[in-house]
Amino acid sequence: MDQELIRYRQLTDAACKQLLADKLMLACILKSCVAEFENSTVQDIEHRYIEGDPEIGNIGVHCDTTNPPSTGRIQGMSNESTTLTEGRVTYDIRFFATTPQNTSLKLIINIEAQNDFYPGYPLIKRAFYYMCRQISAQYGSVFENSNYGDLQKVYTIWICFSPPANRRNAITAYAMDERCIAGNAHEKRSNFDLGQIVMIYLGHEHDERYTGLVKLLDVFTSSSTSYDIKAQTLKDEFGAEMPQRLRKMEEYMSGFSDYVEQRGFNRGIEQGFNRGIEQGVVRSAMNISKNSNLTPIEALTLIGVKPNEIQSYLALIEEEREEQNSL
């Protein structure tokens, strides 16, 4: 695979994560997958229950990387992970939400976008690992010493873009349950219901299950679907209007189209592709800078922009900021 195509796929992945991390998109996911929000509107979830800004690709998974010494609060956990034996692994998207039933009760929500359904191991086992890591990593950030009663519930939600045919257009949840083997001793559910895995298997239309969240995610992550269809799908499935910020994101997504997989494209198409690359780099750098307290130069360097190109990208970032401020 040539470097141009590798770069394209990296930026497409980044653009997809930025889209999924929009609070309205997250609200649709929570309403469909998290029991605590099933009776809430997406508007309430978006504006009342999702806390702060979602963290994208900068919180670590493995041991000793989820909690760098900082503020002592879970919101200060870093999204990046490096270990001597397992390398660097990060959660795609992570954020925090209060529940309608008890606004003092917080949930930790992790969203993972997965293109490869057969990575060489059962994907569900990786999901269990992610869930358990986010539970155990709360020591020292959510609670200290023996205050295990302060543990927060974790949801890890996996969006599978290319599942096998027998799983398409489906959503499956896995959770801990209580089973009395002898006698009739029961525990309060909130004391053991501390983690849940949700697998979302996208598919295609012409299927009776192609509705709700699976339809929304399939439509919104498609580069070939028009803005009008995306806006109508959002309204039909979740009763929400398309905000201006998502229109901007749709424009960035459309900048990355499938034609770059082809070879021998003419100069005009190549220029369009390069413009899409520029837009993706600018958007990614701005969000990385915002979510991880890096300067724009540091964010551009992290993405892999060459030193002799940084100044031109800084000018593009400034243009984008001016455009956003004018909206």
Question: Distance between CA atoms of 274 and 232, rounded to whole angstroms?
Answer: 30
Tokens (6 digits) for 182: 């002898």
The b-or-e profile of 151-190 (16+ CB within 10 A means b, else e) is bbbbbbbbbbbebeeeebbbbeeeeeeeeeeeeeeeeeee
Q: What is the mean pLDDT of the chain?
A: 80
Q: 84 or 278: whose pLDDT is higher?
A: 278
| Residue 263 contacts residue 4 (beta carbons within 8 Å) | no
**Most confident by average pLDDT, 198-202, 221-225, 297-301:** 198-202
Q: How confident is the model over 117-141, as a mean pLDDT?
A: 90
Q: How confident is the model over 237-262, as a mean pLDDT?
A: 68
- pLDDT of 11 reads 60
Q: Which residues contact 98 (CB under 8 A, 6 or more apart)?
A: 48, 49, 51, 104, 105, 106, 107
The backbone torsions φ and ψ at residue 215, rounded to the nearest 5 degrees and listed phi first, read -70, -45
Supply the DSSP string of 38-65, one letter for each residue: TTS-HHHIIIIIEEEEEEEEEEE-STTT
Rounded to 10 degrees, the C-alpha dihedral 220/165/90/9 comes to: -60
Q: Tell me: the pLDDT tens digits for 182-196?
A: 999 999 998 999 999
The backbone torsions φ and ψ at residue 21, rounded to the nearest 5 degrees and listed phi first, read -85, -5
Which residue carries 């909130």 as its tokens? Answer: 190
pLDDT band at residue 54 under the 50/70/90 scheme: confident
pLDDT band at residue 213 under the 50/70/90 scheme: very high
Nearest to 214 by CA among 196, 201, 228: 201
Residues in a beta bridge with 198: 157, 173
Tokens (6 digits) for 141: 């950030």
Q: Does the pLDDT at position 62 exceed 70? A: no
Question: Distance between CA atoms of 324 and 326, rounded to whole angstroms?
Answer: 5
- pLDDT of 206 reads 80
For the chain, how big is the Rg over CA atoms in Å?
21
Q: Does the pLDDT at position 13 exceed 90? A: no
pLDDT band at residue 75 under the 50/70/90 scheme: very low
